[in-house]
Structure 1
Amino acid sequence: MRIMGLDYGERRIGVAMSDLFGWTAQGLEVIDRKVVVDFMARISDLVRDYEVNEIVVGLPKNMNGTIGPSGENCIAFADNLMSTLDLPVRLWDERLTTVAAERTLLEADVSRNKRKQVIDKMASAILLQSYLDSRSK
């Protein structure tokens, strides 16, 4: 059973995938919405190719727990995924996942240009791993 993690943004969507046991998350790719016109078709292809059974979408909450405009966009995206792919879609609090990814890349001395290319993929992996860890408790 594979679970896909998506870090949804206005420009890019970070994609992560679990292993078959649902224990670990690996960053898979970044879908650039300015390059990939039909990003839903790309997600659908990944769901089919990896035999995904569940999708986790990051929900960006404000630090006080409220949901702002970005969160509302993610909720609409998750609803669209659920109806399009007919799979369970979970929203998962993603507060600080991008910050954690940025910090990790800075500590690894990754160049600014390279960080820009992989940060969304890494954030989706952190988000998915957090979800997987919560299930194992």
Structure 2
Amino acid sequence: MILGIDYGEKKTGLAVWYPENDIVLPRKTIHHTSDKQLISFLKKTVEEDDIQEIVLGKPIGLSGNETDQTRKTLEFKKELEKSISIPVHLTDERLSTKQAQVFFDEKQTADEDSLAACVILETYIDKKSHQ
């Protein structure tokens, strides 16, 4: 299984790809007060759910430039990689939240951050399958 992450400083959306069914499903958004708290939760998730890879959305400005959030995400990736032993991949997350809003209306039970994580993960899987 692959875990998709839409990282945020206070809340982070999660999604999981189930290869046996080839489906990506949202998980709950994690509300956290620190990266340390989030990483602790993710370590537990990786172990309990037998996650083999992580895909982390990399925020990039619409013009293709790095932003403050890009730098924060890259720092988070470094800290996460120190704590787990599975690969952590980055994928462009531009417009993932907008895509989630288009595909799912506000009446959906999953929240915007987890739906954005679904888009991030599906983008990665699509690119990987075409290589």
Compute the TM-score of the two structures, normalised by the length of structure 2.
0.89
Match of 1:30 in 2: 29
Q: Which runs of 4+ in 1 moved over 3 A?
A: 20-23
> Separation in 1 of the partners of 2:21 and 2:113?
21
1:22 to 1:56, Cα distance in 2 relative to 1, 3 A: farther
**1:132: which partner in 2?**
125
Identify which of 102, 107, 110 aligns with 1:110: 107
Query: Counterparts in 2 of 1:1-137, with a 5 A limit?
Result: 2-21=1-20, 23-34=22-33, 38-106=37-105, 110=107, 118-137=111-130
Q: 1:62 to 1:87 in 2, by over 3 A?
A: same
Tell me if the contact between 1:22 and 1:132 (Cα under 8 Å) persists in the aligned partners: no
Note the aligned Cα RMSD (angstroms): 2.2
1:50-90 deviations in Å (ceiling 9; x for gaps): 10111110001011111110011111111111111122111
Gap regions ≥5 residues in structure 2: none
TM-score by length of 1: 0.85
The question of whether the paired residues in 2 share the 8 Å contact of 1:58 and 1:127 is answered with yes
Q: Which runs of 5+ in 1 are unaligned?
A: none
